[in-house]
């Protein structure tokens, strides 16, 4: 496989799109016949870790404004390292070009000036403007020495390995790595004290990246999604990164949690089903719920909020839901304008949740300022937001 062909219904995460010529290790085909790749993320601790809150010169305008406690988690050690290190950052090994000059180029009239890449010399139509063919370069298993040599230069505590797909139909987007999950992982690393020794439930965990990071400080993390193939990928990623959670004693349990079903699956014949012990632990000890990049479809957003409400009413303790979302802009024919319909629906669901009255619980919704340090190498744009929903019993 020399090139990846993108069909009209293919969805490609920006995390992978922005490193199109990087070499990727293809490790296998999943049960759907989709190529599965392995990316390595390195912990790099230094005195120059990024602390920018977003795109160059940007704030969130009328987005999140909550002040985050200064200094919280700033001296957190790399997970599993057993020692302290100031200002470390996580850097994906796939990022070789950096993010220099991320500001948009404008011409003298203020219009966007797009710089085109030169086409390859082998292009069959040289009359057209020249531009390189852009496609991922695929490594086979036999060539994994390139990644293997790089891994040997670092101790096992310096690396996170994530298996993922790189382009999927919309229904399989959970198999990719998305910016919102990286953004949420940044927040978890910054707020380590909040997660210390806690029981955490992640809804729509995808590849499990945020759950793995949470397990470096939490006691137990329930990493949940739906679909045996996706959950098996989560399980493999957890096994690949057991070195990060072992020293802290954190446990990650992969379980199926379907937002369209009212009850948890307890059938022992079904892979990743719940035991009675799991359910008791979930309801008796969970205090933090997570969700990242799952608000792209209105029906799924409604199902998630319904599931969230159902779960928190069963929890024994007060809890906090931490939701990561990217405000995606799309031009729609119905509006003849650029809109954020999925994001607007998400915000309306938050508003409806906060207005609930007369029940046993009170929901307080607040935005989180994106002023916490960036621990991973990705494009942290101003459209990334985190919202907290604090759930407490009415007194």
Max Cα–Cα distance, the chain, nearest Å: 74
Q: How far apart are CA 254 and CA 262, in angstroms?
A: 19
Parts of the chain with a pLDDT under 70:
1-9, 18-24, 42-78, 80-105, 110, 112, 114-158, 331-332, 334-335
For residue 221, what are its two tokens? 């993390």
For residue 17, what are its two tokens? 């799109």
Q: What is the pLDDT of residue 271?
A: 95
16-70: pLDDT as tens digits: 776 555 566 888 888 888 889 998 776 655 434 444 433 333 344 445 544 444 4
Q: What is the pLDDT of residue 295?
A: 96
Q: What is the pLDDT of residue 85?
A: 42
Residue 220's CB is within 10 A of a number of other CB atoms, namely 21
Q: How far apart are CA 162 and CA 234, in angstroms?
A: 9
Q: What is the pLDDT of residue 170?
A: 86
Q: What is the pLDDT of residue 114?
A: 65
Global pTM value:
0.77
Residue 392 phi, psi (nearest 5): -135, 150
For residue 148, what are its two tokens? 């293997």
Q: What is the pLDDT of residue 116?
A: 61
For residue 7, what are its two tokens? 């069909």
255-281: pLDDT as tens digits: 999 999 999 999 999 999 999 999 999
Across 305-332, b (16+ Cβ under 10 Å) vs e yields: bebbeebbeebeeebbbbbbbbbeeeee
């Amino acid at each position: 496989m020399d090139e990846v062909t993108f069909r009209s219904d293919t969805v490609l995460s920006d995390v992978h799109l922005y490193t199109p010529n990087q070499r990727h290790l293809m490790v296998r085909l999943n049960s759907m016949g989709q190529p599965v790749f392995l990316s390595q993320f390195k912990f790099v601790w230094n005195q120059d870790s990024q602390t920018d809150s977003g795109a160059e010169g940007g704030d969130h305008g009328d987005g999140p404004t909550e002040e985050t406690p200064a200094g919280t988690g700033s001296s957190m050690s790399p997970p599993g390292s057993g020692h302290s290190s100031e200002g470390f950052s996580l850097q994906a090994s796939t990022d070789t070009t950096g993010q220099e000059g991320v500001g948009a180029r404008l011409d003298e009239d203020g219009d966007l000036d797009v710089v085109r890449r030169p086409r390859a010399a082998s292009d069959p139509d040289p009359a057209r403007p020249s531009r390189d063919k852009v496609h991922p370069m695929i490594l086979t298993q036999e060539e994994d020495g390139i990644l293997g040599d790089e891994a040997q230069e670092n101790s096992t505590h310096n690396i996170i390995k994530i298996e993922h797909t790189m382009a999927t139909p919309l229904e399989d987007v959970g198999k990719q790595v998305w910016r919102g999950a990286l953004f949420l992982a940044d927040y978890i690393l910054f707020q380590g004290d909040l997660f210390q020794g806690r029981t955490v439930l992640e809804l729509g965990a995808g590849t499990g990246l945020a759950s793995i990071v949470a397990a470096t400080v939490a006691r137990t993390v329930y990493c949940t999604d739906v679909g045996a193939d996706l959950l098996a990928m989560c399980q493999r990623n957890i096994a690949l990164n057991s070195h990060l959670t072992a020293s802290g004693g954190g446990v990650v349990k992969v379980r199926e949690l379907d937002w369209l079903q009212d009850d948890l699956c307890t059938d022992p014949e079904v892979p990743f089903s719940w035991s009675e012990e799991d359910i008791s632990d979930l309801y008796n000890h969970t205090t933090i719920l997570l969700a990242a990049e799952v608000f792209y479809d209105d029906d799924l957003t409604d199902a998630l909020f319904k599931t969230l409400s159902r779960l928190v009413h069963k929890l024994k303790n007060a809890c906090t839901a931490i939701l990561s979302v990217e405000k995606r802009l799309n031009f729609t024919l119905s509006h003849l304008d650029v809109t954020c319909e999925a994001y607007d629906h998400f915000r309306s669901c938050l508003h409806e949740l906060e207005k609930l009255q007369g029940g046993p619980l009170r929901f307080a919704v607040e935005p989180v300022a994106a002023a916490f340090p960036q621990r991973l190498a990705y494009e942290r744009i101003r459209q990334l937001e985190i919202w907290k929903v604090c759930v407490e019993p009415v007194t």
